[in-house]
Chain A
Amino acid sequence: MRGEVKPIIEVRGLAHRYQGPAGEIPVLAGLDLDVEPGAFVALVGPSGAGKTTLLAILGGLERPQAGSVRVAGHDLATLGPRGLAEHRRRTVGFVFQHFGLMEALTARENVELALTFAGVPPRGRRARSLELLAQVGLAGRADHLPGRLSGGEQQRVGIARALANRPPVLLADEPTGNLDDRSGEQVLELLETARREEGCAVLLVTHEERAAGRAERVLALEAGRLHAA
């Protein structure tokens, strides 16, 4: 059944290096990855293995140096700056370990910001952001600044923002890393719900076994390549 569905993420022979003080450091070396729409995949591996680099490349924050990366049918290597910005607006949603909320904006305004960049008119932005905040259980906290929210609540706002433009791919980098167990559970539950209800594929980078245990597939990144954990 799985083989019949075209993957939303297709990576072939991805290689990436960084320039270090003592020369080039290979991070990804001929990495292959297929992720089907609506899949929940966890990426694990030691620090510095290249998990975050892979996420950055899939999210259009960095360009692949070698190999091919296709997300939702787009070859990221061929996209220009505008194309990549459009990719970040509509194809992927980011969830950060540090939540990445704008401190001066309320929860609602933070969610609206993603809709603003996507060109959604103000009325539509407001309705969609309130709907999303209600989905993550923060309907009553829409007008609160991030500083007035707990870590778990801030991360839920972050998830609402990532889902704002209904992206087919959700990229989450250690989303529970800064949270207590209970809040972490709530966040993982939300990611699961998003996958189920919005149909988006979730690629979760984590160090936590508990978080990885939620995924359908757990892949370990070692020596620049992925293999089943």
Chain B
Amino acid sequence: MSWLDALGLALTSVRRRRARTALTALGVALGSALLVAMGSVGTAAESRAVEHLGQGLPVGAIKVAPGRPAFLQLNSDEFEGRGAHAIDDSTIQRVKALPGVRGVLPVQAAPVIAVPVAGGSYPAVMLGTDLAVGDLPVSVLAGRLPEASSATEVAVAPSYVARVHPGGSPADALGDRLTVAEPKVVGAPPGAPMVRWFQATVVGVISEQFAQADLLVPLLQTQAAHAWQGVQQDGSFDPDSPYQQLIVVTSGLDQVHKVRAELYDLGYASAAPEHVLGAVLRYLHVIDIVIAGVGGIAILISALGVANALLAAVRERRREIGVMKSIGAGDGDVLRWFLLEAGLIGLVGGVLGALAGTLMAIVIGLQVVDYLTSQGIVLDPIKLSDVPFGVLFAGVVGSVLVSLLAGALPALRAARLPMREAVGGL
């Protein structure tokens, strides 16, 4: 009997005992669902932790300040500076050349006053960066980023939308016009500020998490502001630095500490949530182990269910097995029949479990997000794309393999059943 014929026979058997098959497959589905749900929640928790602690920057990003690092810099996630050290174009080139660095993004900040046409001016931080760099670590909520060479385009943060379009969506701000005023304080003691301004059009709304910017503009706009204002910023770092910050994107979390050590050697203070992230990831890893254990136990229980159902099936089908052998089935044919039946139950259970597990993960994720939101922590809920393919694959294939293993003993028993005894009435 070919495998295809055996599969047809197994399918028929499975269809015939619908209630028992459904219950057994449900047991497998439960185990698989638990595994998929827990795996997905664990993976999503890890990515959300990285995302949240990275403050909107990509995984493995490091912020570099125009200051020399303090002795204990590498033991801290925050900037620990002890004097000025300008960041210029040569710094960017040297940092780019460091091993483990995937990209470097120069950032300039300038204090401005945003004056929307609708009224209600407010003080803001205008951030300039090289918008020609692809794959910017900026979340665009609506519209697009300004063109790299534009002197009139600006992207705003959700704080702008909240002020100018209360209750509106980010898209409502697109096309708005606003005046950006750059104050300059002169004289000692300081006199009335002088103001340089430019008219801008809102082309996009970005996540506020990007370096706490209110307005995002091309680098040339902040360079002009600096030329006008002189640099005004945190006194602990270099006030004359051409760039206020670099965002260094490493090739992965495991590279962060090495790159920070290199930056230390280059003489720059840096900040990255490596220690807190490491602690959180270690904690999540422990949870992953517990989850895998629970999932494994669930799969084991479902395997016992499969074994039990198939042993019962062998008892029930003694005569059938005997008749099959009397019309020419070999031991291998019977073995194949029962193994395929076990595999089919595992496949059905695994697929159902993977679907149910995905749903469970999304529902659990929503509950967790609700709770965290009530605690003041805003996170994205679990989406379909958060469910790792590997976990789904493990859920389905694992269920099939475990069912095959569980079905091996009943299948062997069926194959070795003495024919005369099995035929019964003969």
Contact = CB atoms under 8 A, between A and B. Distances in A.
Interface of B: 1, 5, 9, 12-13, 15-16, 319-320, 322-331, 333, 419-420, 423-426
Contact of A89 (B322, B328, B424): B328
Interface string A47-67: 000001001100101100000
A114 B425 contact: no
A81 B323 CA distance: 16
Interface of A: 52, 55-56, 59, 61-62, 81-82, 85-86, 88-90, 93-94, 96-98, 100-105, 109, 113-114, 116-118, 161-162, 165, 173
B331 A104 contact: no
A4 B12 CA distance: 49
Nearest first, the 9 closest Cβ-Cβ pairs linking A and B are A89-B328, A117-B328, A104-B16, A100-B323, A98-B425, A85-B330, A61-B419, A114-B327, A104-B12
Contact of B426 (A52, A90, A103, A109): A52
A128 to B, nearest CB: 14
Contact of A88 (B327, B331, B424): B327
Contact of B327 (A81, A82, A113, A173): A113
A81 B330 contact: yes
Given A85-B328, A94-B326, A162-B327, 10 more contacts: A59-B326, A61-B423, A62-B419, A89-B327, A98-B319, A100-B319, A102-B320, A104-B13, A109-B12, A117-B330
Contacts of B325: 61, 85, 88
A160 B263 CA distance: 86
Contact of A56 (B1, B15, B327, B420): B420
A116 B2 CA distance: 8
Contacts of A90: 328
B281 to A, nearest CB: 53
B324 A113 contact: yes
A88 B328 CA distance: 5
A173 B426 contact: yes
A113 B1 CA distance: 9
B10 to A, nearest CB: 11
B325 to A, nearest CB: 7
Candidate in B330, B419, B420, B426 with the most chain A CB atoms within 10 angstroms:
B426
Nearest to A59: B326
